[in-house]
Structure 1
Amino acid sequence: MEVRGFRAAAVKAGIRGKDRLDLGLIVSDTPAAAAAVFTTNTVKAAPLLLGKERLRGGRAQAILVNAGIANACTGAEGMRNARLCGAMAADTLGIGEELVQLSSTGVIGMQLDVECFRRGIPRLVAALNPGGLEEVSRAIMTTDTVPKTAERVFQLDGVEVKMAGIAKGAGMIMPDMATMLCFILTDAAVEPELLRTMLRSSVRSSFNRITIDGDTSTNDTVLVLANGRSGAPLLAAGSHRQRLFQQQLDEICLDLARQVVRDGEGATKLVTIRVEGAADEAQARQAARTIANSNLVKTAFFGEDANWGRIIAALGRSGADFNPEAVAIAFDDVVMVRDGVGQGAAVEARATEVLRRGEFTVTVGLQAGAAAAEYLTCDFSLDYVKINANYRT
């Protein structure tokens, strides 16, 4: 998984206190156009506050990321530590501090051990290589069980362009924005403002349409760097090249978002909640989101119980306008409810068979308009409780 002009590496720096990769570095050979979307949580970690400040210039050349400690709710000391770690990376790389983006994931409220960074950063820089992105994807894992990666190769005016992304996230996942870190690299040439617009569009239809447990975090970040090293022409707004690039960015974000939900803490099923026939898109989104976040619905999925009553009850408190006597509910192609009424034991038995699959779609028809929306969610298992009960121990 290589993108022209980018190198990466990861090391065991001792931040987690375990023998695990926990510090990663991604570097572009030249300053790149940069854009990001951060958490909407009022409580934001020090690296996000610093990153937002630095991204006003629209350029970045390096991403320094650690796992184990979130550096959130750490006050002035946390901000000083973030700046110090960024300065160490900048000095070692020989670039300006303003070109270093910082990212952290882990336990909230703990201070970074700066000595781990002092020892680890020189080793990171020495280990930088074009194929190092996959190592970084493993270094940012917390409760993730698998690394999450995606890549695309496409043509812009006959020139090969590459795009690669990594993500982490398995818990505290809900819009807006889902709790996660995601870094996407491309060798296309894009102006920062256009890149920002395209990223926001991609996030709306991917990372902002997933939920695992209804929680959001202090560190959520999706960051894109575009260094132009492919040699393809600069993207122009409204051009065919821009539409093609947007499609690839949409696909890679959705790919990574699906991987996040599939790896949800304790999850055994990946479920698409689709609401159709809503009065408008906002109501369709709200209805789908409410169903996707319902603990009762999610535990029924885990128990493989085709309890459609939980779905229509969640729908009823979503705020969407609809007539309960017009609702239809289907699990894949099995229509369990027509005109607000269940279709009997035989149909429920067929729906139960659908629930035994690892992936399925619940479609809810409101018959109130023409708008539709989808959310990705998962089931809620006993293991979710165990993982989070023991997260700090």
Structure 2
Amino acid sequence: MAKQISDLKLGILGGGQLGRMLIQEAINYNLTTLVLDPDTDAPCKHIANYFECGSITDFDTVYKFGKKADIITIEIEKVNIEALDQLEKEGKKVYPQARVIRLIQDKGVQKQFFKENDIPTAPFQLVNTKEDIINSTLPFPYILKQRKDGYDGKGVMRINSFADIDNAFDAPCLIEELVDFEKEIAVIVSRNANGDVKTFPMVEMEFNAEANLVEFLISPSTYPDAVQEKAETIAKNIAAALNVTGILAVEMFITRNGDILVNELAPRPHNSGHHTIEGNYVSQFEQLIRSVFNLPLGDTRSINNAVMINLLGEKGHDGVAVYKGLEKIMAIDGVYIHLYGKKYTKPFRKMGHITIVDQNREAAVEKANYIKNTLKVIS
């Protein structure tokens, strides 16, 4: 008799808020969850069936942890790939596959993958030294990105002139043409081992320019159907080219002349899909479970208009978190609060998110603006 989903153990590398929200969905399936994270106070600590404090980048630690699970997934890309490779060779199911994580860990390799598979993206060059940057043929201004370890807005800078190169990253990087975009958009695509594929409706994003993080997300998009279908087709094509199992967030730009360019990929649950918990028939977290256990994929349609706000730590505050204005926003209809269980706040740290669901799109945006100005994470 084949094992049921509730007989299998899901190992999660990383115990942050993405893992926490994944476990909250996994509980509905009676899944046993195992988490590895280096933080003794990780958000997953108290809700995982098994929590281990240890390095997710150390071969032995990841390998030994993986042996305890039936299926292994990630909530952050910076993990030990060699250990996952070895676990796959020994018959463990690793989703997304180790080869996919390896490709996405390196933004330079990721960009080359786009080029080789005719996926539209901004022109780029790979550089290893500051001298390479000086000799670049791309016109100023352009964007400089570290090839590895950049996330949540880190490892990215704008280069306006030769003077800025003095402060450039001294590590392998890629430089890419500055895109004159009208809107940043994202599509999350899911794919199970059978090759069944579904996309969530395209969303529009507003970024916090100072933190370089998504601050505001609106779903569904109001762009014409043809634009949305094009973005979703690009996401499906990427998932197929990668032959990935799991979910993949595809971040894109819509340029002022109407082109769609792919910016970056994330092979895991993503900030651009948090609204799906209340705003869609299936959430990105449940869809990940369905994908990695090779179950039928869920209904990704939007139920209603949803606006998601990232709750970031306030500038100048570093210490035990206090949520100022929480009761005021709880008095508003259609507001869903997600706090991530992080005891300490610091400037721009992701402390939670708020989703506003409303039949009226303008009303949802109005509520979101009020919440943005009312709810503050201080110390």
TM-score normalised by length of structure 2: 0.25
Instruction: From the CA coordinates, give the structure whose radius of gyration is larger.
Output: 1
Identify the structure with the greater helix proportion.
1
Q: Which structure exhibits the higher relative contact order, with contacts defined as CA atoms closer than 8 Å and separated by 6 or more residues?
A: 1
